[in-house]
Structure 1
Amino acid sequence: MEIITPKDQFLNSLDRCMENENFIPAFYDRFLSTSEEIRHKFRHTNFEQQNKMLLRSLRLAAGATSGDSEALKELRERARTHDRDHLSIEPPLYDIWLKAVIETVQEFDEEWNETVENTWRTTLGYVISYMVKRY
């Protein structure tokens, strides 16, 4: 029996979600509907570009969690752009973001189960913790 790493499990789930072109737009619909503050932060956003950035960031999260040096370097840069001196993404917003991601993956990944959910929570939790510490 083949052992699948958490990184591969995360990426496999992401790939299943990405088979549906509505996955990322559905996430943003869900996320932006949560608060006026979040809608305000995205008011000047080019969503075609943002959708690509989110996909890249999710793949980056898997790499960073598994210790990939390029992914960690990019995560450091992303933490800088999101800190209080730049985009000022306050720590509580990450919990809202994570909830919206989890709910959207649950909707789009036909193999969703507790193990998949734990993989997403662990992978993104690592990244969120990193971002919050550097806020």
Structure 2
Amino acid sequence: MEELAKEGREAFAKMDIKISLKELSATTGVSPSQIRYWEKKGYIKSIQQQKNQSHAYTIHTLMIVLGINHFLKQGYTLSAAYEKQHAQRGVYRALRSLYSRVEKVERKDDGEVLVDLGRLADQPAKHVVAQISPDYQVQLTLKDEN
């Protein structure tokens, strides 16, 4: 299972998905004119292979637009919303880094999921394991290496 998770992460990282302005707008709820304005201001970037060709946007840009829009709805100005969204990217990178530590994922017959987060730095014979119940309650435990 852990090999499948690793392959999935690597495949997603290699994907080169691009979406149109219309798709970006429909997915995020942000109007095309707002998206163009944000691009003009330098908050987001598009890809345009040739002059007079439609602009395309990456999934990364889609996430930025969602973040900016979220903070705008909370009452922030555009520049403040962009800054808040930009600061959040550090949190997302940290979570991705944590996710990359996952050594093993196991689903038990009772629906419980065990996620092995790897060895403790100061006790390498012990692993941190997240036990996730069928109702998604999480409990962290230390397990001896077996």
* TM-score over 0.5 for the pair: no
- Between 1 and 2, higher relative CO (CA 8 Å, sep ≥ 6) is seen in 1
Structure with higher strand content: 2
Larger Rg: 2
Normalising by structure 2, we get a TM-score of: 0.28
Q: TM-score, normalised by structure 1?
A: 0.30
